[in-house]
Amino acid sequence: MLEAPTTAPIAMSEPGLSHLNAAGQVHMVEVGDRPATDRRAVAEGYIAMAPAVLALVLEGRAAKGDVLAVARVAAIQGAKRTWELIPLCHPIALTGLEVLIEPAADGSGLRLQASARTSGATGVEMEALTAVQVGLLTLYDMVKSADPAMTIGPVRLLRKEGGRKGLWEHPGAAPRAEAAGG
């Protein structure tokens, strides 16, 4: 049997913690009164792998088939199901999601970038980040027998646009090519 807490709940002290109510309890943020705006988010991540495995992937010689195509589809599917995976995310209608997978600049593996778009009352950064993570996990799964020592990361949000806060860009993100259609 659960016991009643012996201390009062902690009141929300950080104004940026929107998933806590005034009593410090977790809740799903009310977005119904927000105007719908065009919103966009771009995220990226990396998977490091042995040069021979990278060559297998880029040349289309992996035993499981077209690794890049499967990872793109998985990333899109992951973005569409974000609300089922992240407890406090709202289900949103994506109006677009583009996935770019390319060799990392230093040749150590692959860079995956996802650009998500919607017109709605809440942002799409979690969808972009989920797309990246699921895409990277799929890349790992497709070639793990050839290189189980692959490493995933870092993953980060590069930019988000729309809503009350307008444009935000990651302070350490260098300008890069974006996924097509963005």
Please state, in angstroms and rounded to a whole number, the distance separating the CA atoms of residues 57 and 21. 47
Look at residues 166, 168, 163, 165 and name the one whose alpha carbon lies nearest to residue 35.
Answer: 163
- DSSP letter assigned to residue 10: P
Residue carrying structure tokens 């880029």: 58
User: Residue type for 85, please?
Assistant: L
Burial 36-63 (b: 16+ CB within 10 A, else e): ebebbbbbbbbbbbeeebbebbeeeebe
What SS3 state is found at 143? helix
Catalytic choice (38, 66, 106, 141): 141
Cα 54 to Cα 85: distance, rounded to the nearest angstrom: 30
One-letter amino acid identity for 115? Answer: S
Structure tokens at 6: 């012996």
141 has catalytic annotation: yes
Would you name the residues annotated as active-site residues?
141
